[in-house]
Amino acid sequence: MSAASEATPLAAPGNPVGRSVRDSLIVAKRNLIRMGRIPEMLIFGLIQPIMFVVLFTYVFGGSIQVGGSDSTQAYREFLMAGIFAQTVTFATAGAGAGIADDMHKGLIDRFRSLPMARGAVLTGRTLADLVQTALTLLVLAIVALIVGWRTHENLGKVLVGFGLLLLLGYAFSWIGALIGLSVRTPEAATSGGLIWLFPLTFISNAFVDANQMPTFLRHIAEWNPFSATVQACRELFGNLPPGFHTPDAWPMQHPVWASLIWSVAITLFFRTLAVRKYRSATA
């Protein structure tokens, strides 16, 4: 075992909360600088959601009906909230791979030798991923406007919708952090971060009307935390198609509250597990 890994961090003076915030921001800055030096990370992260927008809009959009409308425009607007939500959740794989890479290179051991808050390493990483996700959402929204997506509510509601998307992405980044700490290589973290996301995003209301699913799948989709954020964004963007029947399940009737509750609960639960795993993995 290296001397760095055996070292005990010295207690830094100052308020513990303020010190933790400061340390987290320093680690976030370090990760943002690293991301800026590797622009391929952002470019490749944009390719997949743009492909989904094009495929579902121009390839599948003409054969999928939602609500009481059969127009392509209605499905295009219905689709975009799902694409946005899928984009922020798929960033989970990148968060897990980044943390696994730091673990693999021994960087975490060097962090432990410094007088810094234990949770700052993970918090800083997830904050940096949140900034990258926000940039990705901005570019994706511009692409969506180009292909014909429009909002029909005021700017305040639209911004709240994007805020819920970022909150969901931040919550899921903690799942990625836990996965990254639990595997041995960045490749395993990437695979582990994606394999469970596909059923989560497709057994939802992201791409099709959940009312058209078999009963048991419909119930899963209605209580899926991913679906709550998608439904909330559709309402806040004014993208519910004419004649659309909102399911009777509580998360679908109160999607904004459901999205907030799910995102906060996921953040608290998986942050606790990730910090605990971090301490045991580097002890």
Residue 241: DSSP 8-state: P
pLDDT exceeds cutoff 80 at 44: no
pLDDT of residue 251: 95
**d(C-alpha 193, C-alpha 169), whole Å:** 13
Compute the average pLDDT of residues 82-89: 92
pLDDT of residue 45: 73
Q: Are 99 and 189 in contact (CB under 8 A)?
A: yes
Taking the CA atoms of 238, 261, 222 and 59 in sequence, report the sign of the dihedral they define.
positive
pLDDT of residue 242: 81
Contacts of 2 (CB under 8 A, 6+ apart): 106, 109
pLDDT of residue 281: 63
pLDDT of residue 71: 65
Which pLDDT tens digit goes with each residue over 112-126? 667 777 778 888 889
Which pLDDT tens digit goes with each residue over 229-248? 999 999 999 998 887 888 89
Q: Are 27 and 124 in contact (CB under 8 A)?
A: yes
Q: Which of 61-75, 145-159, 162-176 has the lowest mean pLDDT?
A: 61-75
pTM of the model: 0.86
Q: Are 189 and 179 in contact (CB under 8 A)?
A: yes
pLDDT of residue 263: 96
pLDDT exceeds cutoff 80 at 154: yes
Domain spans in the chain, listed from the N-terminal domain onward: 13-281
How many helices (H) and strands (E) in the chain? 13, 0
Name which residue leads in pLDDT, 36 or 69: 36
pLDDT exceeds cutoff 70 at 9: no
Compute the average pLDDT of residues 82-97: 86
